[in-house]
A = this chain, B = another copy of it.
Amino acid sequence: MLVRNIYDTPMKPVDMPGVKGAMMAVMVGRGDGAPNFALRHFTVAPGGNTPRHSHDYEHEVFVVEGTGTVMLDGEERPIKAGDVIYVPADKEHQFRCTGRGVGIRFLCLVPVSRNCGEVTPGSG
Residues of chain A at the chain B interface (Cβ within 8 Å): 1-7, 27-28, 32-37, 39, 41, 58, 60, 62, 64, 70, 72-73, 75, 77, 79-80, 82-86, 88-89, 107, 109, 111
Contacts and interface: CB of A to CB of B under 8 A. Distances in A.
Contact of A84 (B5, B80, B82): B5
Is chain A's binding surface mostly helix, strand, loop or mixed?
strand
Please state the number of chain copies in the assembly: 2
18 contacts: A1-B70, A1-B72, A2-B86, A3-B70, A3-B77, A3-B83, A4-B84, A6-B62, A6-B84, A28-B60, A28-B86, A34-B58, A34-B60, A34-B86, A35-B89, A39-B62, A64-B64, A64-B82
B28 A84 contact: yes
A81 to B, nearest CB: 9
Contacts of A89: 35
B1 A79 contact: no
A34 B77 CA distance: 21
Contacts of A6: 62, 82-84
